[in-house]
Structure 1
Amino acid sequence: MGATKYVVIQDHTSEYPEPITFAKGAPLSVGEEYKGPESWDNWLFCETPGQKGGWVPAQIIEIVNDKTARAREDYTAKELDVRVGDLLVGSKILNGWVWCKRSDGPEAGWVPLANLQEARQ
């Protein structure tokens, strides 16, 4: 998928200062599925040894049994704090969130798609 340019239309600040981060193949304990008013489907609360738990897209994990899974790819739940008017470049959309990089620097993270509008070229 190609990169898409976005402008932030609503501020977003992460509520998770220590995001879960793991490499492909990491063992995961799977908990609840996210339920909320935003229609962010397919997010599972997962834990991996030595870290606080966090929300993980169901598409990137392989369920081994009822509550155990393995990571299909590298992942971080890092969210990007953004303000109205910020310019971002999005590279991946998953379950209502976009992996974005700032257009003016190296900082990257997830931003809710609802907070973004495609920028006119």
Structure 2
Amino acid sequence: MNYVVTKPHRSEYPNPIRLNKGDSFVIGEKDQGPEGWDDWFFCTAPGQAGGWVPLQVIERLADGTGRALEDYTARELDVDIGEMLIGFRTLNGWVWCERLSRDEAGWVPLRNLEADGG
């Protein structure tokens, strides 16, 4: 789906967590912020800064850790009003988007986007 950015977004995480399918990691706190982004967990993996991981890519293990069900990166895309994006996947209030003007991709809050019918 095509989107136009209606509100700018800047990432607060310059070094996003990256997981490969099968990687183990520690599952931390669930997001409880006022934004209402359900089912995101702050996770840590060896040698990386922590980052937010959606429940859909987490296999919960008995010892409280998790295993990645698929390749995943928490990379967020910095965007400005009026930019055109292609959205590929929506999870828990965020959309994995690719910028039309450059070869860049990352997560953008859905509330910052409007579907573009053109």
> Which interval holds the TM-score relative to the shorter structure?
over 0.9
Q: One-letter code of the match for 2:99? A: R
Q: One-letter code of the match for 1:45? A: F
Q: CA deviation at 1:15?
A: 0.3
The number of residue pairs the alignment matches comes to: 118
Q: One-letter code of the match for 1:97? A: W
Q: CA deviation at 1:120?
A: 2.2
Asked if residue 34 in structure 1 is aligned to residue 56 in structure 2, the reply is no
Aligned position for 1:80: 77
Percentage of pairs with the same residue: 56
Looking at structure 1, the residues matched to 63 and 82 of structure 2 have their Cα atoms a distance apart, in angstroms, of 43
Counterpart secondary structure, 2:33: coil
Aligned position for 1:100: 97
Residue segments in structure 2 that go unaligned for 5+ positions in a row = none
Q: How does 1:1-121 map to 2 (within 5 A)?
A: 4-121=1-118
Q: Give the TM-score taking structure 2 as reference length.
A: 0.98
Q: Give the TM-score taking structure 1 as reference length.
A: 0.95
**Structure 1 stretches (4+) deviating beyond 6 angstroms?**
none
